[in-house]
Structure 1
Amino acid sequence: MDMIYRTLGSTEEKVSVIGVGGSHISHDEVDEQLSTRIIRTAIDRGINFMDNSWDYSKGASEIRMGKALLNGYREKAFLMTKIDGRSKKDATKQLDESLRRLKVDMIDLVQHHEVIRYDDPTRIFDENGANAALIEAKKAGKIRYIGFTGHKDPKIHLYMLKIAEDCGFTFDTVQMPLNVMDAHYRSFEKEVLPELISRKIGVLGMKSMGGGILLDSKTVTAIECLHYALNLPISVVITGIDSMKILDQACEAVRTFQPMSAEEVQSLLAKTAIAAQVGKFELFKTRSIFDGTAKNPEWLGEDNIPGSD
């Protein structure tokens, strides 16, 4: 199939418009053989963006992806993972673990994961915070680009960008929910996306189907969800793929995608307007079920308290 590629923000990287979501490849119903097949088939079909995180399934996702990227597949992939540690010490430790699990000396993109609290930016940009660890890692050749993710509130994303700017730092990427319901409620598309475009920061969309929950509204199909996200001025739509059928669906969405007219966009948004009003189907915004660091606060590590060393 003919994959579509877009430039990642102000970098010169060409990335596939579909990215393989890392959390799904270690779900209970997905064995290691299937996860390897999904990753390698995706790459063979032109999908080069690989998503992962230090905390997915206690490291199992990174381990599986590392194995799948052997035998020449690493060279064809743009590899991303995320770390949770907010201190320089914890971030360094988690990054080194990710490098070992992924069986690589360098990761293309590492992102600060789950920036969902107002104290996350200040912790990350503390003198001894996590971003200092990623800057050091970049200088050492362990990583190439730095970004952050979050799914809770667009205002927290804007605050993270402000704190970074105050520190003289510009992110390469930002990952956030972008879907057919987001435009109606606590909207990342309306509040954050224009800011990222103006700064030429690469935009990574996620939650295009909200973990499948958006489909429960019976207002849109999976293909419509993917087409809506693909139509946005973003670099990659990261989607969870836990079967060959779902991989086929993602590829079909790319194959059949055509830029949507304003009328087509408004028609699709009209279908979801009532269901989307209070975030009923975007539970990652309104409840804590998607907040891994809320359930496991130890992943964030210790605060940087002067004199505590």
Structure 2
Amino acid sequence: MERRSFLKSAAVAGAGLAAANSGLGQSSAAPAGATTRPMSPDMQYRDLGKTGEKVSAIGLGGYHIGKQQDPQESIRLIRSALDRGITFLDNCWDYNDGLSEVRMGQALRDGYRAKAFLMTKMDGRTKDSYNKQLEQSLGRLQTDVIDLVQFHEIIRMEDPDRIFAEGGAMEAAVAARQAGKIRYIGFTGHKDPLVHLRMLEVAKQHNFHFDTAQMPINVMDAHFRSFGKNVVPVCVEQGIGVLAMKTFGDNFILKSNTVQPIEALHYSLQQPVSVVITGMDSPAIMDQAVEAVRTFKPMSQDQIASLLARTKDAAADGKFELFKTSSHFDGTAANPKYLG
């Protein structure tokens, strides 16, 4: 579907979104090249691998942005994040059936696009499915260029083979980058570090260097099928920007009663990551994330050891990291058609 056609269909489909469209001005193009964005003294900024980009240490999770009943509430949250110096915006083609991207696109009007490092993800494993999803995402996000597009949910050992195969999604991603539709290429996954390592190995076989890799980094990961121990060092060595997620594991980790939100965020920020992506579905949760950055100081080895000792028993069998041990978070498993 062409972007202009999709924009028209999105506008028609969004009867409940019509109010959100009013008074928000026109869409704007993304900044070109490695860009300098407004920075807040209350926010920390880090290098995004070897890209030359600086991004906020905390990123706004895209899934939670599509959950509000009132579209205006979603838009206010996104704009508030950008106004407070959070530059990294996360999203995905399939989040809330595209609603997360639609609302983010509306929020990025009136000059807000220039404040954002915009990331979204594609589920498609084939060249054709990737291209179709990318055109839809460009339309929903109301931009001609997406800063970073990642292959979503690399959770199966065969996913790297499908993406790098002839006619696979990698062909589409590279072509889109050459055409100026996307700037950087990465991948995400939450199931097992071995799958991430295979993705990196297959990329090496094809002489391809990923700009970013997204993975769970939290106080329990260190004890069970650890991305932090097994994948992060490889990414750091290769100059790949590490994007941390699942700090709270959709609150399941917090339900273990072994860690408080701020210290959980501090632990993730302590790791050699470019950004910690976390859901912010209300002003209070956004305040919490910003406060975590404001109060963050490098942790001592004793502090880290104490925190991990608290979480060791709860983390032993992965029962609080459901994204590793169940299909609870596997959107592409529930919807195999997304893969193409």
Q: TM-score, normalised by structure 2?
A: 0.88
1:31 CA drift (Å): 2.3
Partner of 1:306: none
After superposition, the C-alpha distances for 1:132-187 in whole angstroms (9 at most, x for unaligned) are: 10000000000000000000000000000000100110100000000000000000
Please point out which of 140, 144, 149 is paired with 1:105: 144
3-state SS of the aligned residue for 1:205? Answer: strand
Q: Which runs of 5+ in 2 are unaligned?
A: 1-40
Question: What is the aligned residue count?
Answer: 300
In 2, distance between residues paired with 1:179 and 1:105?
Answer: 34
After superposition, the C-alpha distances for 1:245-275 in whole angstroms (9 at most, x for unaligned) are: 0000000101110010111111110110000
| Pairing 1:17–2:57 present | yes
In 1, distance between residues paired with 2:205 and 2:193?
Answer: 19
Letter in 2 for 1:299: Y
3-state SS of the aligned residue for 1:210? Answer: coil
Partner of 1:96: 135
In 2, distance between residues paired with 1:59 and 1:26?
Answer: 8
Alignment of 1:1-309 (within 5 A): 2-27=42-67, 29-301=68-340
In 1, distance between residues paired with 2:54 and 2:146?
Answer: 16
1:30 CA drift (Å): 4.4
In 2, distance between residues paired with 1:186 and 1:22?
Answer: 25
In 1, distance between residues paired with 2:99 and 2:233?
Answer: 36
In 1, distance between residues paired with 2:221 and 2:107?
Answer: 33
After superposition, the C-alpha distances for 1:250-309 in whole angstroms (9 at most, x for unaligned) are: 0010111001011111111011000000001000000001000000000001xxxxxxxx
In 1, distance between residues paired with 2:74 and 2:84?
Answer: 15
In 1, distance between residues paired with 2:69 and 2:58?
Answer: 20
Q: TM-score, normalised by structure 1?
A: 0.96
Partner of 2:16: none
1:2 CA drift (Å): 1.4
Tell me the C-alpha RMSD between the 2 structures: 0.6
Identity of aligned residues (%): 62
Q: Which runs of 5+ in 1 are unaligned?
A: 302-309
After superposition, the C-alpha distances for 1:34-83 in whole angstroms (9 at most, x for unaligned) are: 11111101100100000000000110000000000100000010000000
Partner of 1:307: none
